[in-house]
């Protein structure tokens, strides 16, 4: 180690002087023995690194312990290597792919002849215990490309990755005990620091995400610093399984897919159709009240339109192929905005006409690889509640504020708390950086003027402009993509949009893109899981089920069903099988109310009401009062 000293600045501003080449462990030890023991990783001038990384220049440093959320990714990346160590010990022929930390866990990809079985995962978990017990240090080493080729000569997947490195690029490898991996790190000091690890599942995954490449076997797992956190996470996963919209969609007869129709294309069943209808009816009522006009545009459009919009240049991989019609090329639309622009340009517009707010439930089509399709949450055809606001530059801030009010009202109706992210200029973007900066500042200024908290998603904007993403928080704490508000200076320029200003000269309008539910399919899939299929009465496909105790009271039950129908309530009678069977079936279908009719109820004009979730408890109510109660609950859209 050199005798030269370096200055290490701590988060509180205190400066330590240490020998050049000192490590994060040395810094932690200089602060105190407790921190030295608890340290997991370090941050050096904003870059997370191992505790054993040599520090060779003046630097600002943070020491991460298990109390810091940033340390979880380091822990989980190390857990992925521990998994690979166990797999290679039991299956030495397995070629190794990538093993990153991901949200809530990690995975590692392996190339093997046969898919892994549940018994394999159990065996790997047992061997993982040995790897943890051995407490192998994670050792980092820099190598050149030739040495790396030699080290991984028996791993074709790693050799392929190596060829992507430049000849002068820094290459690092990590060893823990018998396992060596090509890896940038960082890692915890040793395998024994990963105490609470659980393998979750195995699935096929194409190498490099390319469906033309070979299928690998991906093992998913998770790891936490504390057992209580791991146990809580596993409980959440079990709850998520119970809420899986694909299973509930089948059980509640809401939707299906059919390979003959095509993967990623949803068939809405009558019950799902009623649920969707209620959502759309509510939203139409909402946006008309907020000053929108409804429009409709075609499902296919000339490819020329998408050349002007920039979609062909920037989104071609997400579009379906062209159709030749009478010598012209058409595309299934991936977005609704070009159609709305065409409506705007159908008339000359004056500043007095602006803002113009156009809304459409427009079905769009985007290519998604079959491997990522997932029920209603990731599809190839979906309906967006899309809208575009055309306004003057001076109106932008007010229109964004109006959109924030609209989003807040809508999400409150569905019972969702939410967070907001400001997504900034992506790497692939239209327009110059200065224009983007102005647009991002407008969005930030409106949020800050309202005292609205938000996070920044660097590089997460659309290719034509920055946006606000609203993340819905569901009943078990998961976040879902919800509404977006996008500020666009680019499409008006590309389409040469104009309005006549107060000075009688042409001016360029600004476009705001917004969705509220976003994809109707994804939103309903999320609602199914949020409510575990037990929807609030106003959107429930079947709101009341009437159950006569026996055939003697069928006529009286039918009269009640008719009265409910006249009041606008979706009700039906079920008289087959035993009463117990019918009650259990109604509970399985998660119907908000059951009304039992027997001799007493038929003669007294009453109904014995059972409320969803209340068990066997019944309340005998006058029928008029019961109908009024259900109507009030429906009209108030109570959640």
In the residue annotation, 348 being an active-site residue is answered as no
617 noted as active-site residue: no
**Cα within 13 Å of Cα(363), Cβ side:** 11
Identified catalytic residue from 76, 158, 340, 366: 366
Would you call the peptide bond into 393 cis, given omega within 30 degrees of 0 as the criterion?
A: no
Q: Exposed, middle or buried: residue 113 (CB in 10 Å: 0-12, 13-18, 19+)? A: exposed
For the question of residue 154 being annotated catalytic, the response is: no
Q: Of these residues, 513, 522, 545, 623, which one is catalytic?
A: 513
Residue 508 is among the residues annotated as catalytic for this protein = no
Rounded Cα–Cα distance for residues 542 and 590 (Å):
9
Q: Which of 311, 331, 388, 570 is catalytic?
A: 388
- Say if residues 527 and 376 touch (Cβ distance below 8 Å): no
- What span, in angstroms and rounded, lies between the C-alpha atoms of 391 and 400? 11
Instruction: Single out the catalytic residue among 337, 514, 530, 570.
Output: 337
Closest CA to 81 of 7, 187, 235: 187
Sign of the four-CA dihedral 49, 55, 58, 63: positive
Q: To the nearest 10°, the Cα dihedral for 555, 560, 566, 567?
A: 180
CB atoms within 10 A of CB 616: 6
Within a 10 A sphere around the Cβ of 635, how many other Cβ atoms? 10
Q: Is-catalytic flag, 366?
A: yes
Q: Which entry of 77, 233, 467, 623 is annotated as an active-site residue?
A: 467
Annotated active-site residue in 50, 155, 385, 386: 386
Q: Which residues, listed in sequence order, are joined to residue 187 by a DSSP beta bridge?
A: none
Positive or negative, the Cα torsion across 21, 24, 30, 31? positive
Strands (E), 170-291: 171-176, 179-182, 196-206, 215-224, 255-256, 267-268
Chain centroid, CA 170 distance in Å: 34
Phi, then psi, of 224 in degrees rounded to 5: -140, 160
Residue 408 annotated as catalytic: no
* Element of type H or E holding 108: strand 105-111
Q: What are the residues facing 306 on neighbouring strands?
A: none
Cα–Cα distance measured from residue 376 to residue 378, given in angstroms and rounded to the nearest whole number: 6
388 is catalytic: yes
Sign, Cα dihedral of 361, 365, 369, 373: positive
* Active-site position among 109, 311, 333, 384: 384
Rounded-to-integer distance, Cα 468 and Cα 418, Å: 12
Active site residues: 337, 366, 384, 386, 388, 467, 513
């Amino acid at each position: 180690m050199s005798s030269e000293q370096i200055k290490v600045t701590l988060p509180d501003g205190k400066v330590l002087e240490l020998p050049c080449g000192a490590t994060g462990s040395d810094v932690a030890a200089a602060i105190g023995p407790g921190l030295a023991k608890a340290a997991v990783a370090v941050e050096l001038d904003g870059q997370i690194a191992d505790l054993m990384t040599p520090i060779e220049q003046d630097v600002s440093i943070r020491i991460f312990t298990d109390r810091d959320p940033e340390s979880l990714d380091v822990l989980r990346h190390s857990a992925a290597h521990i998994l690979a160590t166990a797999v290679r010990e039991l299956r030495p022929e397995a070629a190794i792919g990538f093993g990153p930390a991901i949200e809530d866990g990690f995975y590692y990809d392996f190339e093997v002849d046969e898919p892994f079985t549940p018994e394999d995962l159990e065996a790997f978990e047992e061997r993982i215990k040995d790897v943890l017990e051995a407490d192998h240090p994670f050792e980092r080493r820099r190598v050149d490309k030739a040495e790396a080729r030699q080290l991984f000569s028996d791993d074709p997947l790693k050799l392929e990755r190596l060829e992507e490195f430049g000849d002068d690029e820094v290459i690092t490898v990590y060893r823990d005990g018998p396992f060596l991996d090509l890896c940038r790190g960082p890692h915890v000091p040793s395998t024994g620091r990963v105490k609470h690890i659980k393998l979750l599942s195995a699935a096929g995954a194409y190498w490099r995400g390319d469906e033309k490449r070979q299928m690998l076997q991906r093992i998913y797992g998770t790891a936490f610093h504390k057992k209580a956190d791991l146990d809580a996470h596993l409980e959440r996963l079990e709850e998520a399984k119970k809420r899986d919209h694909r299973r509930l969609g089948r059980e509640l007869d809401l939707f299906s897919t059919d390979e003959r129709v095509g993967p990623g294309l949803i068939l809405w069943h009558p019950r799902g159709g009623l649920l969707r209808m209620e959502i759309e009816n509510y939203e139409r009522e909402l946006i008309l009240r907020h000053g929108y006009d409804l429009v409709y545009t075609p499902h296919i459009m000339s490819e020329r339109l998408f050349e002007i919009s920039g979609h062909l240049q920037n989104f071609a991989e997400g579009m379906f192929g062209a159709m030749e019609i009478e010598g012209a090329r058409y595309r299934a639309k991936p977005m609704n905005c070009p159609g709305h622009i065409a409506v705007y340009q159908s008339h000359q517009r004056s500043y007095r006409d602006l803002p113009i707010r156009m809304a459409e439930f427009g079905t769009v089509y985007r290519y998604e690889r079959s491997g990522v399709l997932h029920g209603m949450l990731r599809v190839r055809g979906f309906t967006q509640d899309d809208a575009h606001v055309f306004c003057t530059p001076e109106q932008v801030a007010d229109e964004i504020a109006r959109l924030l009010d609209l989003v807040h009202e809508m999400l409150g109706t569905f019972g969702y708390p939410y967070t907001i992210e400001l997504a900034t200029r992506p790497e692939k973007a239209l327009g110059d950086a200065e224009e983007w900066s102005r647009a991002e500042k407008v969005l930030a200024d409106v949020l800050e003027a309202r005292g609205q908290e938000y996070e920044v998603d660097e590089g997460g904007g659309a290719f034509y402009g920055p946006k606000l993403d609203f993340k819905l928080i569901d009943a078990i704490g998961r976040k879902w993509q919800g509404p977006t508000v996008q500020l666009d200076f680019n499409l008006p320029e590309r389409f040469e949009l104009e309005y006549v200003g107060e000075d009688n000269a042409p001016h360029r309008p600004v476009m705001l893109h917004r969705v509220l539910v976003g994809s109707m399919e994804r939103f309903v899939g999320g609602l199914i899981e949020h409510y575990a299929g037990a929807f609030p009465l106003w959107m429930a496909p079947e709101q009341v089920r009437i159950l006569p105790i026996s055939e003697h009271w069928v006529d009286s039950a039918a009269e009640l069903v008719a009265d409910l129908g006249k009041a606008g309530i979706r009700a039906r009678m079920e008289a087959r099988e035993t009463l117990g069977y019918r009650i259990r079936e109604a509970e399985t279908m998660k119907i908000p109310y059951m009304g039992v009719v027997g001799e007493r109820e038929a003669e007294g004009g009453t109904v014995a009401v059972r409320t969803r979730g209340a068990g066997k408890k019944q309340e005998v109510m006058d029928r008029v009062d019961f109908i009024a109660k259900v109507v009030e609950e429906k009209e108030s859209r109570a959640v």
